[in-house]
Structure 1
Amino acid sequence: MSIRPLPDLLGPAIEGGYGVLALNVFDDLTLRTAIETAETQRAPIVIQTSVKTVRALGARKLAGMFARSASDSTMPVSLHLDHCPYREVITECITNGWNSVLFDASHLKLNEATQQTAEVVAEAHANGVHVEGEVEGIQGVEDGIGSDGAPTVYSDDKIVDFIETTQVDCFAPAIGNAHGLYKAAPTLDVDRVRRLFARTKVPMALHGGSGLTMAQFHELISAGCAKVNISTALKRTFVSSHREYLGDHTDSAEPLALIAHVRGQVAECVREHIELFAGAGDLR
């Protein structure tokens, strides 16, 4: 199966009642380990890149890294650009082989957001690329994108109109979720996910997944969140695994041993989330 468009991953997830892990990677180690772990778990995976990562590594180089790691996978793998308000970066990723992009229009008034998102969809679809839409914003700052202020939440009717007008392939609703670490247990509006999915049949994307409970994941996935984003949990695992190894091996000068330890911890983080979303097993 290897590299596939986003709907090829989300459609079966909706039908099968599981969630697809959408993981924000930031280097070759996390990218390769994520794809290899998904392979061993017999699970699809969305490899996500932030604007910050695209700018740091370069779109062409990052796309090449993905292609080399994903081309031999027997499971569906897709490359997705996460939260991006910049049209020029959207175009750059479309041109360089991303399978889908999230155009974050939450900084715009709804009319302007609808118009620009429709333009992005037209550009993307003409190139065989799919689009995730966002107009309400997800609270919290991630890789320099977003705001800690409360997001604007529109009526269901306005969101349905946005989805139908723009023809986005996936939508990220604001439901009380937030990026980063939750300071208190969030109250999530699962019914809103259920209503929007029932009216549009467009898969919903759950942002701010790090730190939610198994019950919350399962309820949201059953409501229509086929795509479940994880970023903070991976970052914390990556950093803490370095600290852990170096703390236990203060005199070590073996980089390969350090890398092996980090890869093991990253793989465990990926495996845990795939199993948490009921995505493991040869169901595809």
Structure 2
Amino acid sequence: MSVVPLTEIVSDAFTKRYGVPAINVFNDLTMEAVLAAAVEKSSPLIVQTSVKTVKSIGSEVLYTMWTSMTAGIEVPVTLHLDHCPDREVITECLRVGWNSVLFDASTLPVEENMRQTVEVVAEARGFGASVEGEIEAITGVEDGVGSDSAAAQQDLEVTLDFLRTTGVDVFAPAIGNAHGSYKQAPELDFQRVSDIVAAFPVPIALHGGSGLSDEQFHDLISRGCAKVNISTALKEKFMKSSLAFLESAAERQKWDPPSLFRSVRDDVVEMSGSLMTLFGSAGRAR
């Protein structure tokens, strides 16, 4: 158990058709809370950090938090760098100790994306780390990365050529999903996941998971979405929980920061644990 390669976590999930939450944390409280939920639910977990979080807190500080909080943990967990178009940040995180990275070169022509992804995969292998790749931008801006313009989907043969050439461990296709909060129910291309997996059995990363229905999650996971990204939902939970507590504190005129932290932590643990149950990863660490 404890800290393991990303491939170990997603390979089992892909084979057995359950999903593992890949949750974007942004401070010590959220990191500790999602790890606590994984222990409570006996679930594997992918802890993600955005480039924005890495730059605001610092890679060394973040990794020190990670090693301290995962020391002796009894469930499989891994640390992943989400959507990173900056090769220097990728190198920095790999050097410090991240277990995997998503090299986001989706704004580049496919050929250049492929060329650079091959280089990132080679670099990551030197650190014993994994790589997630993508060839289309996922709609929506998340932590300063991305675009609100929807990218056109590439043909299946282009996707397969990318997978064969780069050797990425996880693939993130655009299927009508989007980062942020959905303004209306998304129309998802479920069949595209099935087509990719049938032609090239690689674990699929589902981005834009916040706001999908239980039925959509179950369908996509059954088709091979082994890594299910959650970011917006955690941010909203953190902020709304903090707001509710502070409004109550103002009414009572009682100002106790540790009580605020405990209350928000409990809400984050509950939300994270419910996702583990929903995605089918709860109990898989036993």
TM-score, normalisation: structure 2: 0.98
Give the drift of 1:282: 4.0
Q: Deviations over 1:155-182 (max 9, x none)?
A: 0110010011000000000000000000
- Alpha carbons 2:20, 2:46 under 8 Å: kept: yes
Which consecutive residues of structure 2, in runs of 5 or more, have no partner in the other structure?
none
Indicate the residue corresponding to 2:231 in structure 1: 231
Indicate the residue corresponding to 1:78 in structure 2: 78
Indicate the residue corresponding to 2:258 in structure 1: 256
Indicate the residue corresponding to 2:34 in structure 1: 34
Letter paired with 1:64: T
- Alpha carbons 1:4, 1:77 under 8 Å: kept: yes
Indicate the residue corresponding to 2:5 in structure 1: 5
- Alpha carbons 2:75, 2:285 under 8 Å: kept: no
CA distance in 2, matches of 1:240, 1:4: 33
Indicate the residue corresponding to 1:209 in structure 2: 209
Pairing 1:276–2:278 present: yes
Indicate the residue corresponding to 2:110 in structure 1: 110
Indicate the residue corresponding to 1:265 in structure 2: 267
CA distance in 1, matches of 2:285, 2:172: 25
CA distance in 2, matches of 1:283, 1:53: 28
Indicate the residue corresponding to 2:54 in structure 1: 54
Give the drift of 1:70: 1.4
CA distance in 1, matches of 2:211, 2:155: 27
Which runs of structure 2 are paired with 1:97-136 in the superposition (5 Å)? 97-136=97-136
Letter paired with 1:94: L
Indicate the residue corresponding to 2:193 in structure 1: 193
SS at match of 1:78: strand
Which consecutive residues of structure 1, in runs of 5 or more, have no partner in the other structure?
none
CA distance in 1, matches of 2:99, 2:200: 22
Q: Deviations over 1:173-201 (max 9, x none)?
A: 00000000001100111110011112111
Q: Deviations over 1:34-78 (max 9, x none)?
A: 001111100000000000000001111111111111122110000
- Alpha carbons 2:17, 2:223 under 8 Å: kept: no
After the TM superposition, list the runs of 4 or more consecutive aligned residues in structure 1 that deviate by more than 3 angstroms.
none
Pairing 1:150–2:150 present: yes
- Alpha carbons 1:17, 1:221 under 8 Å: kept: yes
Of residues 242-251 and 17-26 in structure 1, the stretch that sits farther from structure 2 once superposed is 242-251
Which runs of structure 2 are paired with 1:157-196 in the superposition (5 Å)? 157-196=157-196
> What is the aligned residue count?
284
- Alpha carbons 2:194, 2:223 under 8 Å: kept: yes
Give the drift of 1:247: 1.0
Letter paired with 2:196: L
Give the drift of 1:272: 1.3
CA distance in 2, matches of 1:71, 1:131: 24
- Alpha carbons 1:130, 1:169 under 8 Å: kept: yes
CA distance in 1, matches of 2:272, 2:284: 17
- Alpha carbons 1:246, 1:252 under 8 Å: kept: no
Aligned residues with identical type, % of pairs: 51
Give the drift of 1:209: 0.1
CA distance in 2, matches of 1:71, 1:12: 23
Q: Deviations over 1:214-252 (max 9, x none)?
A: 110000001110000000000000000111011112112
CA distance in 1, matches of 2:89, 2:230: 22
CA distance in 2, matches of 1:201, 1:71: 33
- Alpha carbons 2:76, 2:285 under 8 Å: kept: no
CA distance in 1, matches of 2:14, 2:109: 31
Give the drift of 1:15: 2.2
Which runs of structure 2 are paired with 1:13-24 in the superposition (5 Å)? 13-24=13-24
Give the drift of 1:152: 2.7
- Alpha carbons 1:39, 1:74 under 8 Å: kept: yes
